[in-house]
Amino acid sequence: MFSFPNPQKWHNIQCSKLVYALHKKLINKYGFNIIDLNEYYLKKNLYDFIRRDEAHGFDFITREIGEKIANNIENFSLPRKIDIQNDNPNFIALNVKEMKNIDENNFKNKTSWLCQEEIYELKNELKFKSIYHNNIILGVHAWNNQDNSEIKIKNDIGNFNRNLNHSFSFFFDTYNRNIKITKNTTILSKNNPVGFVGLLLASTEGNYHNENIDFKALIKENIEIEKEYNFNHLMPPIEWYKEIIDEYCSIMDPIKLEPLQNQINTLKTQLSNSQANSAKARIQNQLSYKLGQAMIENSKSILGYIRMPYVLSYIKDKHKQEQKIYQEKIKKDPSLKLPPLESYADYNEALKFKEHLSYKLGEALIKANNNWYGGGYIKLWFEIRRIKKEFKNKKA
């Protein structure tokens, strides 16, 4: 198995350390083979190197490790033989269709690059059939696409609430083994409808393995993996890869960005002369339009496609910097604040720019970036094809 690093910026450091320590403890207990990427990245200070999109590492590194595992598979050890009694509870995957008070009109299909599921738009309060009474609710499966949504479970013992701000299929643990289903137990949404798929239930009988662990002590414990199960020698020279990539980028980035910088400087000069009196110029200076223009320009050649990620990242950072400078200026002198777009003489004509291919492509890119954890970048390619086809049909 891999012990992967946690590249997500929002992850709690102590929580990540605890999960890592628990993994190592169980690896030693059950005799699992391990390639410890997490330890390697920590020791070599490589965490920033893997944050290509704040959640995933580089594919070529995982691919190389996979090849090394395949070529050395005969050297891996079998897990330990442990006499374990299967005294777990009985588990039930409860689909929403098996619940009471279902409105068939609320079912919708959701498809992503990873999976396809039928979800229920939870608007009304649902109850449980009697055959599921006395089971414990372990977790909820949802596919939510509404911000500021909340799912709530109510019963005689107490309530469970969970805020949902994701737009993807996911399962979350209730972390409460006392939520037993009774005849009065209901599940409902608050604020906005929730995409509800189902629940994981467990019988009250069985061993819940409530081991008392000193988590603080576990985090500090120096857990060494036995040599028989440690396969860190298969680790690629990732530190060396980083050095090569950094050196390449330091040389090539200025060269790749020079034509774009010249375009930006020319455009900024033009905009500074016309922006105060033109809604068109204001819209053309919006991030959506600038990103879309760059996507179109760089899609005209193979070299353009190669440098496109650098160009788009540069435009985004530059725009953010310009907006920050603008906000600082109007904070010091409010008279410098630009008037509302509606006040310009060419406002109605300028609105047409928002229907341009450039603007639509830029909008799609921003949306994908905001939804990267829900497969936004995969969906982006399909969205680009749809937008281009739509514009092609309009011209025809």
Euclidean distance between CA atoms 321 and 130, whole angstroms: 59
Confidence check: pLDDT of 273 > 80:
no
Residues 6+ apart with CB under 8 A from 156: 182, 184, 185
Indicate if the alpha-carbon torsion angle 223, 228, 233, 235 is positive or negative. Answer: negative
pLDDT band, residue 123 (cuts 50/70/90): confident
Confidence check: pLDDT of 276 > 60:
no
Confidence check: pLDDT of 332 > 70:
yes
Q: Give the pLDDT confidence score for residue 387 in this predicted structure.
A: 86
Q: Give the pLDDT confidence score for residue 111 in this predicted structure.
A: 61
Confidence check: pLDDT of 247 > 80:
yes
All structural domains of the chain: 13-85+229-236 (no CATH), 91-202 (2.60.120), 240-395 (no CATH)
Q: Pick the more confident residue, 116 or 61.
A: 61
Q: Give the pLDDT confidence score for residue 172 in this predicted structure.
A: 84
Confidence check: pLDDT of 373 > 60:
no
Q: Pick the more confident residue, 145 or 358.
A: 358
pLDDT band, residue 31 (cuts 50/70/90): very high
Q: Pick the more confident residue, 108 or 225.
A: 225
Burial of residue 335, with CB atoms counted within 10 A of its CB: 0-12 exposed, 13-18 middle, 19 or more buried: exposed
Q: Pick the more confident residue, 148 or 212.
A: 212
When pLDDT is averaged across residues 202-218 and rounded to a whole number, the result is 86
User: Residue 136: phi, psi to the nearest 5?
Assistant: -100, 135
Q: Give the pLDDT confidence score for residue 72 in this predicted structure.
A: 93
Q: Give the pLDDT confidence score for residue 269 in this predicted structure.
A: 63
Q: Give the pLDDT confidence score for residue 234 in this predicted structure.
A: 92
Confidence check: pLDDT of 45 > 80:
yes
Q: Give the pLDDT confidence score for residue 270 in this predicted structure.
A: 58
Contact between residue 305 and residue 299 where contact means Cβ atoms under 8 Å apart:
yes
The pLDDT mean for the chain works out to 82
Confidence check: pLDDT of 238 > 80:
yes
Percentage, residues of the chain above pLDDT 70: 84
The angle at the Cα of 136, spanning 152 to 215, to the nearest 5 degrees, equals 90
Q: Which of these, 228, 160, 147, lies nearest to 195 by C-alpha position?
A: 147
Return the amino acid letter for 201: L
